[in-house]
A and B are shown apart, each in its own frame.
Chain A
Amino acid sequence: MNVSRRGLTPSLPVILSIARVSFFEILREKILYITLMMTALLMFLGFAASRLFFIRPDRVILDFGLSAVNISMSILAILIAGYQIGREVDRRTIHIALVRPISRGQFLLGKFAGIKCILILNWLLLSAGYVVILGLSSHEGFTEHLHATLFWALGLLLFQSVVLAAVGIFLSTFTTAALSWMICTGFYLIGNNISQIRLLAIKTKNVFVAGSLNGLTWIFPNLEHFSLGTQVTYGLPIVTEAAVTAIVYSAVYSALVLLLAVLSVQKRELN
């Protein structure tokens, strides 16, 4: 038997095993395919809309496509993470797992790893579809838009979805799926408007309101780090340091939220 010093089963095989089961379980969910179909539809709409423009129709496809990937990845992360722990508790599948010599933290990290794998798969499919549509619609050759900024932009959307998944799984440790989806959507909307909130804090005369708004910008994830839409549309070069900062930010924020999720799931009563 594999046994750690605390008598627990070592983390790596446990996390991989839970991730594998979670991955294949989510793969059977309709939600994944609905999201994929919705994104394909959005991309097609972008393609159709681009036919209405005489000047730079390819930019319409660029914008529509990137937005479609953004929305799809975010919705998927919010939806699948939001019910992961709650459903395990309701179905009592978590009971049989937690009776084994594993910690609740290991279980939660395994579930998160499974969600991450699904997000990566979704991201690969969407990115591939996006690149193909871009190539097909390009007037000046396939490689015109396939520059580093586009790939960084796509990559950062994956990291944004990981942050949202971490928030979603944290919320699912103590609330219902519906509430988790609503709150997580709030995180997404606020997170994408952090600079507006900071601006509001500067403009407001009330010190208390300004302080509260600034406090919120520290609690909510700053998802603007992951948005490179303008750079992609206008073909601007990417500042590598900014992109790397965004990746580190994603890792640190997700780690902190997962830590809270572990503490929360340890306190959760199993009925």
Chain B
Amino acid sequence: MSATRKPLVEIHAVDQIFRAGFWLKPVQVLHHVQIQVPEKSVFGFLGANGAGKTTLIQLLVGLRAPTRGTVKVGGHLATTAKARRKIGYLPERPYFYDHLTGEDFLKYFGTLSGMTRNQLLDRIPTVLSTVGMTAAKNVELRRYSKGMLQRIGIAQAILHEPELLVLDEPMSGLDPIGRKEIRELILSLSQEGRTVFFSSHVIPDVEAICDEVALIDQGRILQSGPIGGLLSKGPIQTEIAFSGVTAANAKKIEELMRIQEMPDGIRAIVTSQVSANDALSSLIKKGARILWVSPIRPSLEDFFKSTKEGGSA
């Protein structure tokens, strides 16, 4: 967790057990989950389908209470009304009452949030404008596209100006343009000072917009923290491009891996800082002209893979 920001969400030692089957056999889906979400952060919750993301989100928004442990939002237990006032939520693959127009839909959820008529009249045009749905406000939801439904879903989630926005797979089922639009919307909501917690199984989506991340697998948190900090734990590689030395000669330098001949020279990878120094010295000794030396930042995907395999983590 970021040291400078206090946590808005505190998930402490949470276990979740469901009863399944005819004999109500206990099945543990979350194991001692511990996460803190700093306020005003964009927190990505990453895991494969069935890893326990939606279950944890349901605990976070107060739809169910954990079997063991506590989930607090803004210092209040998530199941209390005080905590729920701070939360805006968009579930995965939501179905909305499709006979309502966009505006009626927002009025309905605004009323449930305790907003007065005047507050609704004041706030709805702002929210519709934020999500880019002003033109469709009088159209029934059954005529909305998937992307428009996601936008109006986000509109209902931010209508009552919650501190925490919880989005369960908000980009699921969208085309690339729709995904980009929702990413940009999440970023703009974050810039307004909101804390955004969103789940995804698509790593590039999380990598693109999150500053904090938690990885979950089979109900266990593998890693949690600032995304930069997590990636710095991953393997550090350096790409070296050079010319003036043949590929055959370059292969004699043992630090150089994955040597590739390119039209403008040769590129190779070295796997540590020491190897980079040694490889550069050897290349210079052989009369090579160094074109560039570039560190390769590990992707979240690499990190997730290596953490799951019990590698670098």
Q: Which of A10-46 contact B (CB under 8 A)?
A: 10, 13-14, 17-18, 21, 24-25, 28
Check B99–A1 contact: CB distance below 8 A.
no
In the complex, the answer to whether A6 meets B114 with C-beta atoms within 8 Å is no
Interface string of B88-123 (1 = CB under 8 A from A): 011101111101100000001101111110010000
B63 at the interface (CB under 8 A from A): yes
Most chain A Cβ neighbours within 10 Å, of B18, B82, B85, B114: B114
Establish whether residues B113 and A100, one from each chain, have CB atoms under 8 Å apart when the complex forms.
Answer: yes
Q: Using Cβ atoms and an 8 Å threshold, which residues of chain A touch B2?
A: none
**When chains A and B are docked, how far (Å) is the Cα of A9 from the Cα of B113?**
6
Chain B minimum-CB-distance residue to A3: B114
Interface flag for B218 (CB, 8 Å): no
* B200 within 8 A of partner (CB): no
| Among candidates A6, A24, A93, A95, residue contacting B81 with C-beta atoms closer than 8 Å | A6
Flag whether A200 is at the interface (Cβ < 8 A): no
On chain A, the residues within 8 Å of B108 by CB distance are 17, 21
A100's contact among B58, B91, B112, B119, by CB below 8 Å, is which?
B112
**B30 CB to nearest A CB, Å:** 15
CA of A95 to CA of B116, assembled, Å: 22
What is the 8 Å Cβ interface bit string for chain A, positions 64-107, against chain B (1 contact, 0 not)?
Answer: 00000000000000000000000000011101111111100000
Asked whether any CB of chain A lies closer than 8 Å to the CB of B64, the reply is yes
Check: B156 CB closer than 8 A to any chain A CB: yes
Residue among A1, A9, A97, A99 with most chain B CB within 10 A: A99
The reply to whether the CB of B194 lies closer than 8 angstroms to some CB of chain A is no
**Is there an interface contact between B95 and A91, defined as CB atoms closer than 8 Å?**
yes
Interface extent on A, as a size class? 20 to 34
Complex Cα–Cα for A141 and B109 (A): 53
Decide if the interface of chain B is mainly helix, strand, loop or mixed.
Answer: loop
**Contacting B112 at CB < 8 Å: which of A6, A17, A92, A95?**
A17
Which residues of chain A have C-beta atoms less than 8 A from B90's C-beta?
A: 96
Contacts of B87 in A (CB 8 A): 99
A99 and B64 contacting across the interface, CB-CB below 8 Å: no
* B97 close to A96 (CB less than 8 A): no
Most chain A CB within 10 A, of B18, B82, B111, B115, is at B111
Q: Name A1's contact: one of B91, B113, B156 (CB within 8 Å).
A: B113
Within 8 Å CB of A25, what residues of B?
97, 99
Does A95 contact B96, Cβ atoms closer than 8 Å? Answer: no
Give, as a whole number of angstroms, the nearest-CB distance from B257 to chain A: 48
User: How far does the alpha carbon of A14 sit from the alpha carbon of B110 in the complex, in Å?
Assistant: 10
Closest approach, in angstroms, between the C-beta of B249 and any C-beta of chain A? 63
Contact mask for chain A residues 103-121; partner B; CB cutoff 8 A; 1 contact, 0 none: 0000000000000000000
Tell me which of B58, B84, B115 contacts A270 (CB under 8 A): B58
Do residues B62 and A2 form an inter-chain contact, with CB atoms below 8 A? no
Specify the chain A residue showing the minimal Cβ separation from B89.
A99
Query: Would you mind naming 19 contact pairs between A and B with Cβ atoms under 8 Å apart?
Result: A1-B160, A3-B85, A9-B112, A9-B114, A17-B108, A21-B97, A24-B99, A25-B99, A91-B95, A92-B91, A92-B93, A95-B89, A96-B91, A96-B96, A96-B156, A100-B109, A101-B85, A101-B112, A270-B63
**Shortest CB–CB separation between residue B94 and chain A, in angstroms?**
6
CA distance in complex: A101, B80 (Å)? 8
| B149 close to chain A: CB less than 8 A | no
Interface bits B13-31 vs A (CB < 8 Å: 1, else 0): 0000010000000000000
